[in-house]
Amino acid sequence: MNEWEKAYTNGFLVNTNKPSEVILLAQDLLPKSGKVLDIGCGNGRNTIYFANKGYFVDAIDIVDLDFLKEIPKELLPLVNYKKTSCLDYSFDSRYDIIVMARLIQYLTVDELDLLFKKAISSLKKEGYILLSYSATGKAISEKYGVNKYNHPLPLVLDLVEKHNLKVITLKEGNKVGIHLSYKEDAITYDIVLKLL
């Protein structure tokens, strides 16, 4: 069992089916159809949001929460779930939208660097990366034993620049715990990115 399977077994959950705020923040900018990659899809809330709108979605996570059994049958042809780490995923499609919602705080800086490298290689020229993360707080490590890294915003923005991405929208908030099985105040960022 990997650390995330243990966390979910021990009660970790994202307790909402609403899409991530970074998606709502970007929704007027996004192409109205196309292909989405949802990295670290969890319970599939963002995957299902995009499939409901007619996008094709590749969804990956290191835990299989079997969310496809809950979704309407007509959405099944639109969704392709694979249990894998984003660090092993081959990124051999081209995507209009890549979602990294509440994922990067669980990756080391080197892993994040590699993820950006892989992601931009499969992002279409006019595509968007939708990134959200929490930059403070350790409750998830203490409660569920998951490794959490508090990446300062300047470090993430340096990587953004290094990988020839530009920030379209950046919103700072304080909202960890609204939809999670643990409560904690933390600084969070919703960041909409495009290729330079």
Cα separation, 39 vs 62, whole angstroms:
10
Shortest spacing between CB 50 and ligand SAM, in angstroms: 12
Residue type, 84: T
Binding site for ligand SAM (CB under 6 A): 4, 14, 20, 40-42, 45, 60-63, 85-87, 101-103, 106
Q: Which is nearer to ligand SAM, 117 or 161 (CB)?
A: 117
Nearest alpha-carbon partner for 42 in 92, 5, 75: 5
Report the residue number, 60 or 97, with the smaller CB distance to ligand SAM: 60
**C-beta closer to ligand SAM: residue 4 or 56:** 4
Q: In the bound complex, what is the minimum distance in angstroms from residue 168's beta carbon to ligand SAM?
A: 20
125: number of Cβ within 10 Å? 7
SS3 167: strand
Residue closer to ligand SAM by CB (options 36, 103) is: 103
Q: Which residue is nearest to ligand SAM (CB)?
A: 42
Task: Quote the least distance from Cβ 62 to ligand SAM, whole Å.
Answer: 4
Q: Which residues of 91-110 are buried (b: 16+ CB within 10 A; e: fewer)?
A: beeebbbbbbbbbbbbbeee
Closest to 94 in 3D by CA, of 30, 46, 29, 34: 34
Rounded to a whole number of angstroms, the minimum distance from the CB of residue 39 to ligand SAM is 6
